[in-house]
């Protein structure tokens, strides 16, 4: 285990060196809130931020992205024939990303990188990225990462875990990509591995103890899909939803998209744009029929997808990392923690009945 000690005095100089070989992204304060932005040369990420308002998913998966291009000009030989858009994916580093948001990429990867089909845009952006995660020592009140297979010091998907140790950072090297980045920054001062590891472990325990919000997911897998779908609580859960889509917009694990051709004069681009299961148009058939035509259908789809369909499809945990954003920003206070409990208890209550 390699742990590098980075003096805070050398932090910005290291970042400046990095910016020669990486595009750097980090949390930046915009008016009231922090968001991930590409850092200009000499600009340092604001690591005092608890977490950004939007998830950093747009760095890998832009809200709007051109997939293909074409010409409608019939004097051109290749008119109406789709063309690849030349794209390069230079190395990029995401500095100060929280462990929950990195874990989210690992969950989303199951959708874009499949045995049958590979989404080249997502995969190329993901693979060109080095994730320099910042451990959370002050979790927000809505965070429930520790019970969502994640945690404030969770290492999954990270290349380096940064721990704020006062006048210096301890950088735990978790991959070759991470090691290369530290070299490029000139951060080479190795800490005594035993002492540093012990310190990180102590801080991790203390951070985990600050998480006060939990969910139970143990009954979800064995729950019956059809019975959960028909559970009586959906009417209550969805009653106040205004289908604004904020939850899916801020969620680091929501990946749904739309594809639209956008023309300008005689040329155009086939665009991919974020979409949301909260919108009626998302599933509207050409005939006018809509299989998810009501607010109840759409709210249920969001929670069933994250907490049941995903679990069953990939034989894995839930499609949620407990970042708490949807809880914080929902204008009508719909709380995934409560819904998860309803689903989980509904399942387990039913299992008990079946046994007795």
Partner 1 sequence: MQNPYMPYPVQIDDIIVETEDKNLKTFKFVFLNSEDEGKFDYYAGQFAELSVTGKGEIPIGIASSPTEKGFVKFTVNKVGLVSSYLHSMKVGDIMGVRGPLGNWYPWNRMEGKNVVIIGGGFAFTTLRSSIIYMLDPANRPKFKDIHVIYGARTPGMLLYRDELQEWEKRDDINVHITVDGTDDPNWKYNTGFVPTITEQKAPAADENTIAIVCGPPIMIKFTQPVLDKLGYAHDKIIMSLENRMKCGIGMCGRCNIGKEFVCKDGPVFTLEELNKTPREY
Binder to partner 1 among 3, 162, 241, 304 (CB under 8 A)? 304
Residue 232 interacts with partner 1 (CB under 8 A)? no
If one asks whether residue 166 binds partner 1 (CB under 8 A), the answer comes out as no
Position among 240, 313, 316, 352 found at the interface with partner 1 (CB under 8 A):
313
| Out of 8, 29, 79, 183, the residue judged to bind partner 1 by CB under 8 A | 79
Contact between 289 and partner 1 per CB under 8 A: yes
**Min dist. Cβ of residue 295 to partner 1 (A):** 14
Q: How many Cα atoms within 13 Å fall on the side-chain side of residue 269? A: 10
**Closest separation in Å from C-beta 161 to partner 1:** 30
Question: Does residue 65 interact with partner 1 by CB under 8 A?
Answer: no
Q: Does 284 bind partner 1 (CB under 8 A)?
A: yes
Non-local CB neighbours of 160 within 8 Å, separated by 6+ positions: 130, 131, 132, 133, 171, 172, 173, 174, 175, 178, 181, 182
Q: Which of 282, 295, 328, 341 forms a contact with partner 1 (CB under 8 A)? A: 282
Stretch that binds partner 1, among 66-74, 172-180, 194-202, 320-328 (CB under 8 A): 66-74
- Least distance from C-beta 151 to partner 1, angstroms? 27
Q: Is 111 in the site for partner 1 (CB under 8 A)?
A: yes
Alpha carbon separation from 64 to 100, 144, 187, 267, 270 (Å, rounded): 23, 30, 36, 18, 10
Q: Is 120 an interacting residue with respect to partner 1 (CB under 8 A)?
A: yes
- Sheet architecture: strand order including 83-84: 83-84, 64-71, 267-274, 257-264
Say how far apart CA 320 and CA 108 lie, in whole Å. 10
Phi, psi of 287 (to 5 degrees): -75, -15
CA–centroid distance for 302 within its chain: 16
Q: How far is the CB of 238 from partner 1 (least distance, A)?
A: 15
Total chain residues near partner 1 (CB under 8 A): 52
Q: Which is nearer to partner 1, 182 or 342 (CB)?
A: 342
Q: Which residues bind partner 1 (CB under 8 A)?
A: 67-68, 70, 72, 79-82, 84, 111-112, 114, 116-120, 123-124, 225-226, 229, 255-261, 263, 268, 270, 275, 277, 282-287, 289, 291-292, 297, 301, 304-305, 308-310, 312-313
């Amino acid at each position: 285990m390699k742990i590098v000690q980075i003096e805070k005095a050398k932090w910005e100089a290291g970042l400046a060196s990095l910016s020669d070989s990486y595009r750097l992204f980090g949390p930046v304060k915009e008016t009231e809130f922090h968001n991930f932005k590409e850092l200009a040369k000499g600009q340092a990420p604001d690591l005092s931020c608890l977490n950004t308002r939007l998830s950093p998913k747009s760095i890998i998966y832009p809200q709007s992205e051109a997939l293909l291009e074409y010409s409608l000009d019939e004097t051109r030989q290749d008119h109406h024939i789709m063309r690849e858009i030349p794209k390069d994916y230079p190395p990029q580093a995401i500095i100060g990303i929280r462990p929950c948001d990195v874990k989210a990429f690992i969950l989303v990867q199951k959708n874009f990188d499949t045995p049958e089909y590979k989404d080249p845009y997502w995969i190329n952006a993901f693979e060109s990225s080095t994730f320099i995660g910042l451990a959370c020592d002050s979790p927000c009140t809505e965070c429930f990462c520790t019970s969502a297979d994640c945690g404030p010091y969770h290492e999954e998907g990270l290349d380096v875990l940064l721990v704020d140790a006062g006048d210096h950072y301890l950088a735990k090297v978790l991959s070759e990509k991470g090691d290369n980045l530290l070299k490029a920054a000139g951060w080479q001062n190795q800490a005594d591995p035993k002492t540093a590891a012990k310190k990180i472990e102590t801080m991790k325990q203390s951070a985990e103890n600050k998480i006060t919000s939990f969910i139970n997911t143990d009954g979800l897998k064995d729950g019956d899909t059809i019975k959960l779908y028909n559970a009586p609580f959906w009417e209550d859960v969805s009653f106040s939803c205004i289908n604004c889509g904020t939850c899916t917009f801020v969620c680091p694990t929501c990946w749904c998209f739309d594809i639209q051709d956008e023309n300008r004069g005689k040329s155009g681009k086939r665009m991919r744009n974020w979409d949301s299961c909260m919108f009626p148009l998302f599933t509207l058939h050409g005939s006018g029929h809509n299989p998810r035509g009501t607010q109840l259908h759409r709210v249920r789809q969001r929670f069933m997808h994250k907490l049941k369909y995903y679990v069953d499809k990939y034989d894995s945990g839930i499609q949620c990392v407990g970042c708490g954003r949807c809880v914080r920003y929902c204008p009508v206070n719909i709380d995934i923690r409560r819904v998860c409990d309803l689903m989980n208890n509904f399942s387990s209550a039913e299992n008990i009945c079946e046994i007795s």
